Structure 1
Amino acid sequence: MAVIKNMIMDDVAIRRALTRIAHEILEKNKGVEDCIFVGVRTRGVYLARRIAERIQEIETVSVPIGELDVTRYRDDRPEFNAPPEVTEDRLAIQNKKIILCDDVLYTGRTVRAAMDALMDLGRPQSIQLAVLVDRGHRELPIRPDFVGKNVPTSKQEQIEVHLSEIDQDDSVVILQQRGTTG
């Protein structure tokens, strides 16, 4: 059983991080023309929506938002043997700049699965990665373009992101397996 070791972000810190990410996306892309935000289910979808809302407030322009379920594209889950299926509404991603949003970047396998799923939808101009938390321990050569917070962790720790849309509060906590220290 895991217990909360430390709260590393509260609602204010999350809001600030997402606002900063929104500004960085605008700066890197010189606006959001031809951009589509794609959230990796589940929490990445809500983060994509929140970042798009910040951009709407800053630039008074709306950005298309899509959802991506990468379960069938995972190579580290039993479902991997199932035939690939993209269950999203067909996103028109051809020649678009995709801003892929997720809550935690760890091994990179979810991001790799998301890129595979996106490529089945078309050929984007580019894919940029925005994550709320980068905890390290990459197994694949994947690096985020936009990071809310870098949090060095041990492999015995877990990062848990809570978002009010599904968890009733906004916070990021480190969980420690009971009986281990670190």
Structure 2
Amino acid sequence: MFRTFIYNSNITYIKRGFCERRTVLNVIKKGDVGEKVSVQGWVKSLRKQKDLTFYDINDGSTVKNLQIIVQDKSHGKINVGSSVRADGILQKSPKGQNEVNAENLVLIGGCDLNEGYPFAPRKKYAPEYVREYLHLRPQTRRFGSLLRVRHGATVAFHKYLDQIGYVCIQTPIITSNDCEGAGEVFKVVPDNVDLLKSMYQDSYI
């Protein structure tokens, strides 16, 4: 689920147009100065100076934001919360961090802050407040980090169990929750208690 941007079929790179599209994490960690990159993400903050506009974007692959520098001032519709694609040259910032000097910045999905976008830049929100916006919750730093930790733990468990010979299967799931109210909750009991006990014993073999 938490390939949170528009990557298809679980592939990391998509060959299209300007260059290979990459994740923010890949550009920050493995990008080489001077190479052409294409990256997508949501605008987390922006700063305007005399001749330049600085956008911090994130696609959910890391907690860190990637800075995009744009010299063209014709991007007035791009606000915090907008989804964008940036094509440009990778360079080092004065602090030694990777950033993209954008030759092309495309607005994929706009975000009008006056129409109720719930998360302002550089501001923390209580979990109770964030829970009211389930469709936007993965974009927050805290919940995004939680999903990445869960992903890493799940991958590690599966890898370890696979290495020691276990087989992953998907069993039918029985739950006591009647979420939509259209069903009937029933009780599942063993037909033979002795058989159930023997199954418990066999499971330790």
Q: TM-score range by the shorter chain?
A: under 0.3
Query: By percentage of residues, which structure has more helix?
Result: 1
- The structure number with the bigger radius of gyration is 2
So what's the TM-score if we normalise by structure 1? 0.25
